[in-house]
Amino acid sequence: MKLKLTDLVNSQGTLEFNFSVGDISLEEINPVTIGIQLKLNIQQSGPNFKITGTANLILTEMCDRCLDNYKLDIKAPFSIFVTTQKSLKPGFSESDVILLETNQRDFNLGPTVHDAILLERSIKNLCKEDCLGLCSNCGVNLNNGYCNCASKKIDEKWASLIEINFSHSE
């Protein structure tokens, strides 16, 4: 996922392009489409660039609660500082910066996008906020309709109560 510095300079502030999931090593995910759409905002200050952007793609995920597959529309935000200056201002961690050699003309945005997607993905692992999950007794997906377990449990309680009452009265 190489970007050229001249692309940044000529971008006039925004860049949009698509690339394939295969360009970054994302074996952990299960994409619905192989394309990742990138939208970048670029601010230049001398030889330095600040890139903020989002990576958009759609994944197939498994819900933690009901174990159903669902489509997750990911819009992963990221920002990175591209510079040749080794003396970085404090406050930048290594993952915030792509450090270039003085004669370097391109750089790889892949790791940044990779991390942004994985971070965004780990936040959401439910098919919906109010997923009802599976019945712990019969395993029915309660999003698709209720099972009879809840009413059966009440019946069983009544049955044992009646038995107790009988044994007392004898």
Contact between 21 and 29 (Cβ < 8 Å): yes
User: Whole-number minimum distance, CB 68 to Zn ion, in Å?
Assistant: 5
Question: Which is nearer to Zn ion, 137 or 165 (by Cβ)?
Answer: 137
The answer to whether 137 contacts Zn ion (rule: CB under 5 A) is: yes
132 binds Zn ion (CB under 5 A): no
CB of 55 to Zn ion, least distance (A): 25
d(CA 51, CA 82): 8
Report the DSSP beta bridge partners of residue 154.
none
- Among positions 63, 74, 98, 100, the unique one binding Zn ion when judged by CB under 5 A: 63
Residue 127 C-beta: closest distance to Zn ion, Å = 3
Tell me which residue of 133, 32, 7 sits closest to 82, measured CA to CA.
7
Stretch that binds Zn ion, among 102-110, 142-150, 152-160, 161-169 (CB under 5 A): 142-150
Phi, psi for residue 154 in degrees, rounded to 5:
-65, -45
Residue recorded with tokens 């992963």: 76
Query: Does residue 135 bind Zn ion (CB under 5 A)?
Result: yes
Beta carbons of 53 and 42 less than 8 angstroms apart: no
| Binding residues for Zn ion (CB under 5 A) | 63, 65-66, 127, 131, 135, 137-138, 140, 147, 149
